[in-house]
Amino acid sequence: MSSIDKLLEVMARLRDADDGCPWDQKQDFTSIAPYTVEEAYEVADAIAREDYAALRDELGDLLFQVVFHAQMADEAGLFDFDDVAGTISDKMLRRHPHVFGTDEERAAGAVDGAWERIKAEERAGKDDNSALAGVAVALPALKRAHKLGRRAFTVGFDWTDRHGVRAKIREELDELEAAVGSRSVASIEEEFGDLLFAVVNLARHLDVDPEKALTSANYKFERRFRDMESAIGDDGKTVKNQSLELLDKAWRAAKKRVG
């Protein structure tokens, strides 16, 4: 028995109405979805830490989520795991004509824009024909903003270059300041969102993944802050209640030590 067949049997047993696991039996797509998202983040975290033993385990946990959803779908008569695997295989074959296509397509090699063109053709066969169709609402906000901007670009709705985006950022900063002056919480939140959206589009124009960039910035801040805490602790002090002058000096020293 292959490992994947064994996993499918384990999942089916867990969901068995007679002698399965009570917790697994009562789950549905909605209740399991948060776990699926969480496992995907844990995969990304293992990669960021370059912990490949953890990556093996986390990929298994993520695969289990796929199998869980497929089992529930099979029970509902919607589709099964083979359908899931077959669908993604067909999709990859279709989206890589330079690898799996005709002799002429393979000879032409990868063509700029072909991936998005093929995806657009796939969307054209669905009820929602918008250029923004299929951008998942549940995506992290930075990644969704990036995808929305990229989709708009494919139909020509975009700034001509990064300088136009920078001007938009300055405009949004001014509007945020005006909202702060108005003391309207709703307006401040709205303008701050517009500012973030513009910044994400600057990242797109610079070919920067905003989610990855912010994740790296988070790690960098945490590394420096922990080093600063440790250095201050070596002097018998804590960060709390220290003067801003001392904290600034300690922060600059931490940057030099840990980068």
Alpha carbons within 13 A on the beta-carbon side of 225 = 8
Helix axes 141-154, 185-205, angle to 10 degrees: 60
Helix axes 162-182, 185-205, angle to 10 degrees: 170
User: Do 135-208 and 3-95 have the same topology in CATH?
Assistant: yes
Instruction: Give the pLDDT score at 231.
Output: 93
The CATH classification number of 3-95 equals 1.10.287.1080
Ranges in the chain, pLDDT < 50:
none
DSSP 184: -
CB neighbourhood size of 179 (10 A):
19
What's the CA gap between 62 and 40, in Å, rounded?
A: 6
Instruction: Give the pLDDT score at 2.
Output: 95
Instruction: Give the pLDDT score at 119.
Output: 74
Instruction: Give the pLDDT score at 25.
Output: 97
Determine contact, residues 230/254, Cβ cutoff 8 Å.
Answer: no
What's the CA gap between 168 and 152, in Å, rounded?
A: 16
CB neighbourhood size of 243 (10 A):
8
Mean of pLDDT over the chain: 92
User: What CATH fold (topology level) applies to the domain 135-208?
Assistant: Helix Hairpins (1.10.287)
DSSP 48: H
28 Cβ contact list (under 8 Å, min separation 6): 72
72 Cβ contact list (under 8 Å, min separation 6): 15, 27, 28, 29, 32
Q: Where are the domains of the chain?
A: 3-95, 135-208, 212-258
Q: Please give the model's pTM, rounded to 2 decimal places.
A: 0.65
DSSP 212: H
Report pLDDT digits (tens) over 91-125: 999 989 888 888 887 877 777 777 777 777 777 76
Q: Read off the amino acid at residue 60.
A: G
Instruction: Give the pLDDT score at 125.
Output: 66
Q: What value does the CA radius of gyration of the chain take, rounded to a whole number of Å?
A: 25
What's the CA gap between 11 and 136, in Å, rounded?
A: 27
Determine contact, residues 258/227, Cβ cutoff 8 Å.
Answer: yes
Integer angstrom CA distances of residue 228 from 12, 185, 237, 243, 250:
51, 34, 11, 14, 6
Instruction: Give the pLDDT score at 228.
Output: 95
What's the CA gap between 205 and 112, in Å, rounded?
A: 17
